[in-house]
Amino acid sequence: MPTNCRTTHPPETDPRFEVPLRGVKVGAETRCAHYATERDVIAIRFPCCNVFYPCHACHKAVANHSAQQWDAQADLDEQAVLCGACRTVLTWRQYLNAEHACPDCGADFNPGCTTHLHLYMRGRTQ
Ligand SMILES: [Zn+2]
Ligand SMILES: [Zn+2]
Ligand SMILES: [Zn+2]
């Protein structure tokens, strides 16, 4: 783990990022205490607070409310996925069509993330 990790609690957000972002031991490319492999470089905005978190467990650990999920149909064009490598914010549609890599910088995304998308989106069938 890099040494520049930090944990951010509300109402603070992480000044290293242009978007509001919080989490547990967040690294410069949005890896966190829970997901820290080479490919864990995305953060997801939650509709309940409009803050980006590296993962659902980060939201659970530092947010003072329970997480809400996006709607898998209605919210596809919401800019909800931050690439921690280049800091581009993708819509759900862009992320889901991206084949596990950032369409902007080409950074690999963890394909495992799509297996727990239901934690971020309700109405996903898989
Ligand atoms: Zn929230
Ligand atoms: Zn986390
Ligand atoms: Zn990128």
The pLDDT score that the predictor gives to residue 89 is 98
Q: How many domains does the chain have?
A: 1
- Asked if pLDDT for residue 1 goes beyond 60, the answer is no
Residue 71 CA to residue 22 CA, distance in Å, equals 22
Q: How many CA atoms lie within 13 A of 107 on its CB side?
A: 20
The pLDDT score that the predictor gives to residue 3 is 64
Write out the DSSP string of 46-96. Answer: ETTTTEEESSHHHHHHH-SS----EETTTTTTSEEEEETTT-PEEEHHHHH
91 closest CA partner among 109, 79, 104: 79
Cα-to-centroid distance, 79 and ligand 1 (Å): 15
In this structure, is residue 107 part of a structural domain? yes
Which ligand sits nearest to residue 101's alpha carbon? Answer: 3
In this structure, is residue 116 part of a structural domain? yes
Cα-to-centroid distance, 56 and ligand 2 (Å): 6
Residue 121 CA to residue 33 CA, distance in Å, equals 22
The pLDDT score that the predictor gives to residue 125 is 65
In this structure, is residue 47 part of a structural domain? yes
Per-residue model confidence as pLDDT tens digits over 42-80: 999 999 999 999 999 999 999 999 999 999 999 999 999
Cα-to-centroid distance, 27 and ligand 1 (Å): 20
Per-residue model confidence as pLDDT tens digits over 85-110: 999 999 999 999 998 999 999 999 99
In this structure, is residue 75 part of a structural domain? yes
Domain of residue 93, residue span:
6-122
In this structure, is residue 27 part of a structural domain? yes
In this structure, is residue 109 part of a structural domain? yes
Cα-to-centroid distance, 83 and ligand 3 (Å): 5
The pLDDT score that the predictor gives to residue 2 is 53
Cα dihedral across residues 95, 80, 104, 101: positive or negative:
negative
Contact 34, 54 (CB under 8 A): yes
In this structure, is residue 1 part of a structural domain? no
Cα-to-centroid distance, 48 and ligand 3 (Å): 25
